Amino acid sequence: MKISVLGCGRWGSFIAWYLCNKGYDVCSWGPEGDYSYEVLKSTGKNEYVTLDKRILLTCDLKEAVTRAEIIIISISSQGLRGFVSRILEYDVADKDFVLCMKGIEVATGARLSEVLTQSGISPEHVAVWVGPGHIQAFTQGIPNCMVIDSASEELKKRLADSFKSDLIRFYYGTDLIGTEIGAAAKNVIGIVAGVLDGCGYVSLKGALMSRGAREVARLIKAMGGNELSAYGLAHLGDSEATLFSEYSHNRMYGEMLVKDKKFEKLAEGVPTAAAMKKLGEKYGVDLPITCAVFDLCYGEGEEGEEGEDYKARCMKLLANLFARDTKSEFYS
Protein backbone atom coordinates (compact mmCIF):
# COMPACT_ATOMS: atom_id res chain seq x y z
CA MET A 1 0.00 0.00 0.00
CA LYS A 2 1.36 3.42 -0.99
CA ILE A 3 0.72 6.17 1.55
CA SER A 4 1.67 9.84 1.35
CA VAL A 5 1.76 11.95 4.50
CA LEU A 6 1.32 15.62 3.64
CA GLY A 7 2.88 17.74 6.37
CA CYS A 8 6.11 16.76 8.10
CA GLY A 9 5.85 18.57 11.39
CA ARG A 10 5.38 16.88 14.74
CA TRP A 11 2.48 14.57 13.90
CA GLY A 12 3.20 14.25 10.20
CA SER A 13 6.73 13.00 10.76
CA PHE A 14 5.53 10.56 13.42
CA ILE A 15 2.82 9.14 11.17
CA ALA A 16 5.34 8.60 8.36
CA TRP A 17 7.67 6.89 10.86
CA TYR A 18 4.87 4.75 12.29
CA LEU A 19 3.43 3.60 8.97
CA CYS A 20 6.87 2.86 7.54
CA ASN A 21 7.53 0.65 10.56
CA LYS A 22 4.24 -1.09 9.72
CA GLY A 23 5.80 -1.99 6.37
CA TYR A 24 3.96 0.42 4.07
CA ASP A 25 5.48 2.34 1.16
CA VAL A 26 5.53 5.84 2.65
CA CYS A 27 6.17 9.29 1.20
CA SER A 28 6.62 12.28 3.50
CA TRP A 29 5.90 15.69 1.95
CA GLY A 30 6.72 19.18 3.16
CA PRO A 31 6.90 22.54 1.36
CA GLU A 32 10.34 23.61 0.18
CA GLY A 33 11.80 26.19 2.52
CA ASP A 34 9.62 25.09 5.44
CA TYR A 35 11.68 24.65 8.60
CA SER A 36 10.35 21.16 9.39
CA TYR A 37 11.01 19.92 5.87
CA GLU A 38 14.48 21.44 5.62
CA VAL A 39 15.55 19.89 8.93
CA LEU A 40 14.43 16.44 7.78
CA LYS A 41 16.05 16.94 4.39
CA SER A 42 19.41 17.94 5.83
CA THR A 43 19.61 15.61 8.83
CA GLY A 44 17.05 12.83 8.25
CA LYS A 45 15.58 13.46 11.69
CA ASN A 46 13.89 16.02 13.91
CA GLU A 47 13.39 16.34 17.66
CA TYR A 48 10.82 13.54 17.57
CA VAL A 49 11.83 10.81 15.09
CA THR A 50 14.54 9.62 12.75
CA LEU A 51 13.09 8.88 9.33
CA ASP A 52 13.77 5.44 7.92
CA LYS A 53 15.72 5.57 4.66
CA ARG A 54 12.83 3.72 3.02
CA ILE A 55 10.66 6.84 3.38
CA LEU A 56 10.60 9.05 0.31
CA LEU A 57 11.01 12.66 1.48
CA THR A 58 9.90 15.20 -1.10
CA CYS A 59 8.76 18.79 -1.56
CA ASP A 60 7.04 17.91 -4.86
CA LEU A 61 3.32 17.92 -4.11
CA LYS A 62 2.39 16.37 -7.46
CA GLU A 63 4.70 13.44 -6.82
CA ALA A 64 3.35 12.91 -3.31
CA VAL A 65 -0.30 13.06 -4.38
CA THR A 66 -0.19 11.07 -7.60
CA ARG A 67 1.80 8.12 -6.20
CA ALA A 68 -0.48 7.53 -3.22
CA GLU A 69 -3.45 5.27 -2.62
CA ILE A 70 -4.02 6.89 0.78
CA ILE A 71 -3.28 10.56 1.48
CA ILE A 72 -2.86 11.56 5.11
CA ILE A 73 -2.95 15.28 5.87
CA SER A 74 -1.38 16.75 9.00
CA ILE A 75 -1.11 20.54 8.76
CA SER A 76 -2.49 23.60 10.55
CA SER A 77 -6.29 23.40 10.48
CA GLN A 78 -6.89 26.95 9.24
CA GLY A 79 -4.80 26.33 6.13
CA LEU A 80 -6.64 23.16 5.11
CA ARG A 81 -9.12 24.57 2.57
CA GLY A 82 -6.44 26.37 0.57
CA PHE A 83 -4.18 23.33 0.71
CA VAL A 84 -6.93 21.01 -0.53
CA SER A 85 -7.47 23.29 -3.52
CA ARG A 86 -3.85 22.62 -4.48
CA ILE A 87 -4.28 18.85 -4.08
CA LEU A 88 -7.34 18.90 -6.32
CA GLU A 89 -5.23 20.12 -9.23
CA TYR A 90 -4.40 16.41 -9.60
CA ASP A 91 -6.63 13.37 -10.15
CA VAL A 92 -7.66 12.12 -6.71
CA ALA A 93 -10.98 10.47 -7.61
CA ASP A 94 -9.98 7.02 -6.33
CA LYS A 95 -7.81 8.09 -3.40
CA ASP A 96 -8.71 7.94 0.28
CA PHE A 97 -8.00 10.90 2.56
CA VAL A 98 -7.23 10.71 6.26
CA LEU A 99 -7.13 13.85 8.38
CA CYS A 100 -4.74 13.48 11.29
CA MET A 101 -5.37 16.95 12.65
CA LYS A 102 -7.79 18.66 15.02
CA GLY A 103 -9.63 21.91 14.59
CA ILE A 104 -12.65 23.77 13.20
CA GLU A 105 -12.48 26.28 10.36
CA VAL A 106 -12.99 29.70 11.94
CA ALA A 107 -14.35 31.46 8.85
CA THR A 108 -17.13 28.93 8.21
CA GLY A 109 -17.51 26.80 11.35
CA ALA A 110 -16.92 23.74 9.17
CA ARG A 111 -15.50 20.57 10.61
CA LEU A 112 -12.31 19.52 8.85
CA SER A 113 -13.93 16.59 7.06
CA GLU A 114 -16.54 19.05 5.79
CA VAL A 115 -13.79 21.23 4.35
CA LEU A 116 -12.79 18.27 2.17
CA THR A 117 -16.31 17.31 1.16
CA GLN A 118 -17.25 20.92 0.45
CA SER A 119 -14.22 21.03 -1.82
CA GLY A 120 -15.61 18.15 -3.87
CA ILE A 121 -14.07 15.05 -2.27
CA SER A 122 -16.61 12.26 -1.69
CA PRO A 123 -17.48 11.59 1.97
CA GLU A 124 -16.89 7.91 1.19
CA HIS A 125 -13.20 8.73 0.72
CA VAL A 126 -12.70 10.86 3.87
CA ALA A 127 -11.71 9.70 7.36
CA VAL A 128 -10.31 11.26 10.53
CA TRP A 129 -7.65 9.82 12.83
CA VAL A 130 -7.73 11.34 16.34
CA GLY A 131 -7.37 10.47 19.99
CA PRO A 132 -4.85 10.53 22.82
CA GLY A 133 -1.12 10.02 22.69
CA HIS A 134 2.09 11.97 22.44
CA ILE A 135 4.84 11.26 19.95
CA GLN A 136 7.43 11.38 22.70
CA ALA A 137 5.61 8.50 24.43
CA PHE A 138 4.92 6.50 21.27
CA THR A 139 8.57 6.59 20.21
CA GLN A 140 9.51 5.22 23.64
CA GLY A 141 7.23 2.27 23.00
CA ILE A 142 4.42 3.44 25.31
CA PRO A 143 1.10 2.35 23.72
CA ASN A 144 -2.20 4.20 23.53
CA CYS A 145 -5.67 4.02 22.00
CA MET A 146 -6.97 6.12 19.11
CA VAL A 147 -10.06 6.45 16.89
CA ILE A 148 -10.63 6.39 13.15
CA ASP A 149 -14.01 7.70 12.03
CA SER A 150 -15.67 8.23 8.67
CA ALA A 151 -19.07 8.44 6.99
CA SER A 152 -17.96 5.23 5.28
CA GLU A 153 -18.14 2.11 7.42
CA GLU A 154 -15.94 0.26 4.96
CA LEU A 155 -13.23 2.92 4.94
CA LYS A 156 -12.91 3.39 8.70
CA LYS A 157 -12.81 -0.36 9.32
CA ARG A 158 -10.27 -0.93 6.57
CA LEU A 159 -8.01 1.85 7.86
CA ALA A 160 -8.28 0.91 11.54
CA ASP A 161 -7.61 -2.75 10.78
CA SER A 162 -4.67 -1.87 8.52
CA PHE A 163 -3.05 0.67 10.86
CA LYS A 164 -3.44 -1.14 14.21
CA SER A 165 -0.37 -2.44 16.03
CA ASP A 166 0.95 -3.23 19.49
CA LEU A 167 1.68 0.51 19.80
CA ILE A 168 -1.73 1.88 18.81
CA ARG A 169 -5.04 0.15 19.45
CA PHE A 170 -7.68 1.65 17.17
CA TYR A 171 -11.42 1.87 17.69
CA TYR A 172 -14.03 2.43 15.01
CA GLY A 173 -15.66 5.82 15.51
CA THR A 174 -19.45 5.87 15.35
CA ASP A 175 -20.20 9.61 15.29
CA LEU A 176 -18.19 11.76 12.89
CA ILE A 177 -19.67 15.01 14.21
CA GLY A 178 -18.92 14.13 17.82
CA THR A 179 -15.50 12.71 17.03
CA GLU A 180 -14.35 15.86 15.21
CA ILE A 181 -15.91 18.42 17.54
CA GLY A 182 -14.70 16.55 20.60
CA ALA A 183 -11.16 16.25 19.26
CA ALA A 184 -11.00 19.92 18.34
CA ALA A 185 -12.54 21.14 21.58
CA LYS A 186 -10.09 19.30 23.80
CA ASN A 187 -7.42 21.79 22.70
CA VAL A 188 -9.53 24.66 24.03
CA ILE A 189 -9.87 22.87 27.37
CA GLY A 190 -6.12 22.26 27.27
CA ILE A 191 -5.45 26.01 27.27
CA VAL A 192 -7.50 26.35 30.46
CA ALA A 193 -5.49 23.53 32.03
CA GLY A 194 -2.34 25.51 31.34
CA VAL A 195 -3.90 28.61 32.87
CA LEU A 196 -4.71 26.60 36.01
CA ASP A 197 -1.10 25.37 36.14
CA GLY A 198 0.17 28.92 35.80
CA CYS A 199 -2.18 30.20 38.52
CA GLY A 200 -1.38 27.32 40.88
CA TYR A 201 -4.93 25.94 40.69
CA VAL A 202 -4.05 22.41 39.58
CA SER A 203 -6.72 20.90 41.84
CA LEU A 204 -9.38 22.43 39.59
CA LYS A 205 -8.43 20.19 36.66
CA GLY A 206 -10.86 17.48 37.71
CA ALA A 207 -13.74 19.95 37.61
CA LEU A 208 -12.40 21.30 34.30
CA MET A 209 -12.47 17.82 32.76
CA SER A 210 -16.03 17.27 33.92
CA ARG A 211 -17.49 20.69 33.06
CA GLY A 212 -15.49 20.91 29.84
CA ALA A 213 -16.79 17.56 28.61
CA ARG A 214 -20.34 18.56 29.52
CA GLU A 215 -19.99 21.82 27.58
CA VAL A 216 -18.68 19.98 24.54
CA ALA A 217 -21.45 17.37 24.82
CA ARG A 218 -24.08 20.12 24.61
CA LEU A 219 -22.53 21.49 21.42
CA ILE A 220 -22.19 18.04 19.82
CA LYS A 221 -25.85 17.29 20.52
CA ALA A 222 -27.01 20.64 19.13
CA MET A 223 -25.04 20.00 15.93
CA GLY A 224 -26.71 16.63 15.40
CA GLY A 225 -24.11 14.35 16.93
CA ASN A 226 -24.18 11.96 19.87
CA GLU A 227 -23.40 13.80 23.09
CA LEU A 228 -21.80 10.64 24.50
CA SER A 229 -18.92 11.20 22.07
CA ALA A 230 -17.66 13.93 24.40
CA TYR A 231 -16.87 11.20 26.91
CA GLY A 232 -15.01 9.03 24.39
CA LEU A 233 -11.39 8.82 23.29
CA ALA A 234 -11.52 11.86 21.00
CA HIS A 235 -12.29 14.26 23.85
CA LEU A 236 -12.35 13.09 27.48
CA GLY A 237 -10.04 10.20 26.64
CA ASP A 238 -7.46 12.71 25.43
CA SER A 239 -7.45 14.62 28.73
CA GLU A 240 -4.21 13.22 30.13
CA ALA A 241 -2.30 14.05 26.96
CA THR A 242 -3.80 17.54 26.74
CA LEU A 243 -4.47 18.73 30.29
CA PHE A 244 -1.55 17.21 32.20
CA SER A 245 1.33 16.40 29.89
CA GLU A 246 4.47 18.49 29.62
CA TYR A 247 4.32 17.83 25.87
CA SER A 248 0.89 19.41 25.33
CA HIS A 249 1.23 22.54 23.17
CA ASN A 250 -2.15 23.89 24.24
CA ARG A 251 -1.49 23.40 27.94
CA MET A 252 1.89 25.05 27.55
CA TYR A 253 0.31 27.95 25.66
CA GLY A 254 -2.07 28.59 28.57
CA GLU A 255 0.69 28.38 31.15
CA MET A 256 2.94 30.73 29.18
CA LEU A 257 0.03 33.14 28.77
CA VAL A 258 -0.34 33.45 32.54
CA LYS A 259 3.40 34.08 32.82
CA ASP A 260 3.19 36.67 30.00
CA LYS A 261 5.65 34.68 27.90
CA LYS A 262 5.38 33.91 24.20
CA PHE A 263 4.79 30.31 23.14
CA GLU A 264 6.37 29.78 19.73
CA LYS A 265 4.70 26.53 18.64
CA LEU A 266 1.25 25.85 17.20
CA ALA A 267 -1.63 25.88 19.69
CA GLU A 268 -4.74 24.85 17.75
CA GLY A 269 -6.96 25.66 20.72
CA VAL A 270 -6.69 29.38 20.00
CA PRO A 271 -8.49 29.47 16.62
CA THR A 272 -10.73 26.61 17.77
CA ALA A 273 -12.02 28.77 20.64
CA ALA A 274 -13.05 31.41 18.09
CA ALA A 275 -14.75 28.81 15.89
CA MET A 276 -16.57 27.19 18.83
CA LYS A 277 -17.78 30.54 20.12
CA LYS A 278 -19.40 31.16 16.72
CA LEU A 279 -20.93 27.68 16.72
CA GLY A 280 -22.29 28.21 20.23
CA GLU A 281 -24.00 31.40 19.08
CA LYS A 282 -25.32 29.72 15.93
CA TYR A 283 -26.82 26.76 17.77
CA GLY A 284 -27.81 28.57 20.96
CA VAL A 285 -25.51 26.55 23.20
CA ASP A 286 -24.03 27.83 26.46
CA LEU A 287 -20.21 27.51 26.25
CA PRO A 288 -18.85 29.44 29.25
CA ILE A 289 -15.38 27.85 29.30
CA THR A 290 -14.92 28.32 25.57
CA CYS A 291 -16.01 31.96 25.78
CA ALA A 292 -13.56 32.58 28.64
CA VAL A 293 -10.72 31.17 26.52
CA PHE A 294 -11.82 33.32 23.58
CA ASP A 295 -11.82 36.46 25.75
CA LEU A 296 -8.39 35.60 27.09
CA CYS A 297 -6.81 34.83 23.71
CA TYR A 298 -8.45 37.56 21.68
CA GLY A 299 -8.60 40.30 24.29
CA GLU A 300 -12.33 40.94 24.14
CA GLY A 301 -14.63 41.68 27.03
CA GLU A 302 -14.27 43.86 30.07
CA GLU A 303 -11.44 41.73 31.47
CA GLY A 304 -8.87 43.24 29.13
CA GLU A 305 -8.27 46.51 31.00
CA GLU A 306 -5.26 48.51 29.94
CA GLY A 307 -2.16 47.70 31.95
CA GLU A 308 -3.67 44.54 33.42
CA ASP A 309 -1.30 41.56 33.24
CA TYR A 310 -2.41 38.18 31.95
CA LYS A 311 -2.39 36.49 35.33
CA ALA A 312 -4.78 39.10 36.69
CA ARG A 313 -7.00 38.64 33.63
CA CYS A 314 -6.95 34.87 34.10
CA MET A 315 -7.87 35.16 37.75
CA LYS A 316 -10.75 37.50 36.88
CA LEU A 317 -12.05 35.15 34.19
CA LEU A 318 -11.96 32.23 36.63
CA ALA A 319 -13.79 34.34 39.21
CA ASN A 320 -16.44 35.21 36.62
CA LEU A 321 -16.95 31.52 35.82
CA PHE A 322 -17.42 30.78 39.53
CA ALA A 323 -19.85 33.70 39.90
CA ARG A 324 -22.26 32.35 37.27
CA ASP A 325 -25.78 31.45 38.39
CA THR A 326 -26.07 27.99 39.92
CA LYS A 327 -27.31 25.40 37.44
CA SER A 328 -28.19 21.72 37.36
CA GLU A 329 -25.02 19.69 36.81
CA PHE A 330 -26.32 18.17 33.58
CA TYR A 331 -28.28 21.12 32.20
CA SER A 332 -28.86 21.12 28.45
pLDDT digits (tens, 9 = 90+) for 79-115: 999 999 999 999 999 999 999 999 999 999 999 999 9
Q: Which residue blocks in the chain are alpha helix, DSSP H? A: 10-21, 35-43, 61-67, 80-87, 112-118, 135-138, 153-163, 176-199, 205-222, 239, 249-258, 269-283, 288-298, 310-322
Span 113-160, pLDDT tens digits: 999 999 999 999 999 999 999 999 999 999 999 999 999 999 999 999
Span 203-226, pLDDT tens digits: 999 999 999 999 999 999 999 999
* Lowest model confidence (mean pLDDT) among 127-136, 231-240, 297-306: 297-306
Summarize the confidence of residues 254-280 as an average pLDDT.
Answer: 92
* Calculated CA dihedral for residues 152, 145, 54, 56, nearest 10 degrees: 50
Active-site positions read 186
The 144-150 sheet, strands edge to edge: 56-58, 25-29, 2-6, 70-73, 96-99, 126-130, 144-150, 168-172
**Mean of pLDDT over the chain:** 95
Q: Do 251 and 245 touch, CB atoms closer than 8 A?
A: yes
Taking domain 186-322, whether its CATH number is 3.20.20.70 is answered by no
Q: Which residues contact 121 (CB under 8 A, 6 or more apart)?
A: 84, 88, 92, 97
Specify the length of the chain in residues. 332
Q: In the prediction, which pLDDT does 262 show? A: 86
Q: Do 240 and 132 touch, CB atoms closer than 8 A?
A: yes
Burial class of residue 262, CB neighbours in 10 A (0-12, 13-18, 19+):
exposed
Considering the chain, tell me which residue range(s) the CATH 1.10.1040.10 domain(s) occupy: 186-322
CA dihedral sign of residues 47, 48, 50, 56: negative
Q: Do 179 and 261 touch, CB atoms closer than 8 A?
A: no
The SS3 call for residue 218 is helix
| Cα gap 257→260, rounded to integer Å | 5
**Using alpha carbons only, how large is the chain's radius of gyration in Å?**
20
Residue 50 has pLDDT above 50, yes or no: yes
Supply the pTM of this predicted model: 0.95
Instruction: Tell me the one-letter amino acid at 78.
Output: Q
pLDDT band at 264 (very low <50, low <70, confident <90, very high): confident
The SS3 call for residue 103 is coil
Taking domain 2-172, whether its CATH number is 3.40.50.720 is answered by yes
276-287: b (≥16 Cβ within 10 Å) or e: bbbbbeeeebeb
Instruction: Tell me the one-letter amino acid at 275.
Output: A
Q: In the prediction, which pLDDT does 301 show? A: 45
Cα distances from 188 to residues 11, 130, 276, in angstroms, run 19, 15, 9
Considering the chain, tell me which residue range(s) the CATH 3.40.50.720 domain(s) occupy: 2-172
Summarize the confidence of residues 257-265 as an average pLDDT.
Answer: 87
pLDDT band at 303 (very low <50, low <70, confident <90, very high): very low
Span 225-234, pLDDT tens digits: 999 999 999 9
Q: Do 149 and 178 touch, CB atoms closer than 8 A?
A: no
Percent of the chain with pLDDT over 70: 97
Percent of the chain with pLDDT over 90: 90
Nearest Cα to Cα of residue 293 among 206, 208, 233: 208
Cα distances from 142 to residues 61, 132, 133, in angstroms, run 33, 12, 9
Residue 307 has pLDDT above 80, yes or no: no
Q: What are phi and psi of 124, to 5 degrees?
A: -70, -10
